[in-house]
């Protein structure tokens, strides 16, 4: 692979920006395809870094920052598309699609933040929960491709908040017991 892991990360980010734009323009099918395409770069960047022995702390930071921006731009694209009327989502449980997208955005950010905060507090690796980023992006992509984008947003909103609670509870368990093997020793 002639491209560096960081270049692959940035290419995946660019594709995610295009996915957000597709949603904003009322093109959910294209948005779903672009999410899947961006996922290819998300897989490749880590794989290339490991294969070339080029895993770096900065690469991890860049990947995390690009993932957060990507998530935000995709959900903002959906919100923009529904508010300007280009993307029609029927209200679910009496809640408009743009608001479900907002709940999904908040949940997605909290899943990542909870992990980062717990790890900085001393947890080794907090990868628990039913809706990590890969699962959320697959739900969003397949919802967009199948015409069930509204329901995909509901699932992401619910599952991401459940994941955040799972992580908080796991962090509490780990950090309350300093002898647990998942606690980092200073």
Residue 139 sits at the vertex; the CA angle it makes with 135 and 164, to the nearest 5 degrees, is: 50
Q: Is 67 a catalytic residue?
A: yes
Q: Sign (positive/negative) of CA torsion 135, 31, 103, 153?
A: negative
Q: What six digits make up the tokens of 27?
A: 């093109």
SS3 182: coil
Q: What six digits make up the tokens of 48?
A: 């290339």
Q: What six digits make up the tokens of 75?
A: 């959900």
Q: What six digits make up the tokens of 165?
A: 């609670």
Largest Cα–Cα separation, the chain: 55
Give CA–CA dist 69/97, Å, rounded. 20
Q: At what angle do helices 149-175 and 97-121 cross, to 10 degrees?
A: 20
- Given 67, 71, 96, 182, the catalytic residue: 67
Catalytic annotation, residues: 67
């Amino acid at each position: 692979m002639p491209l560096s892991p960081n270049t692959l990360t940035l290419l995946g980010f660019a594709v995610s920006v295009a996915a957000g734009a597709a949603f904003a323009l009322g093109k959910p099918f294209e948005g779903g395809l672009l999410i899947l395409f961006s996922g290819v770069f998300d897989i490749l960047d880590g794989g290339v870094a490991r294969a070339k022995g080029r895993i770096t702390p900065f690469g991890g930071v860049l990947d995390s920052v690009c993932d957060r921006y990507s998530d935000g731009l995709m959900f903002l694209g959906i919100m923009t598309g529904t508010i300007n009327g280009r993307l029609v989502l029927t209200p679910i449980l009496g809640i408009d699609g743009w608001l479900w997208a907002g709940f999904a955005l908040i949940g997605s950010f909290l899943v990542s933040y909870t992990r980062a905060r717990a790890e900085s507090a001393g947890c080794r690796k907090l990868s628990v929960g039913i809706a990590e980023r890969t699962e959320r992006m697959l739900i969003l992509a397949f919802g967009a491709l199948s015409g069930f984008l509204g329901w995909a947003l509901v699932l992401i909103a619910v599952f991401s908040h459940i994941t955040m609670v799972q992580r908080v509870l796991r962090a509490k368990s780990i950090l309350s017991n300093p002898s647990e093997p998942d606690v980092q020793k200073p």
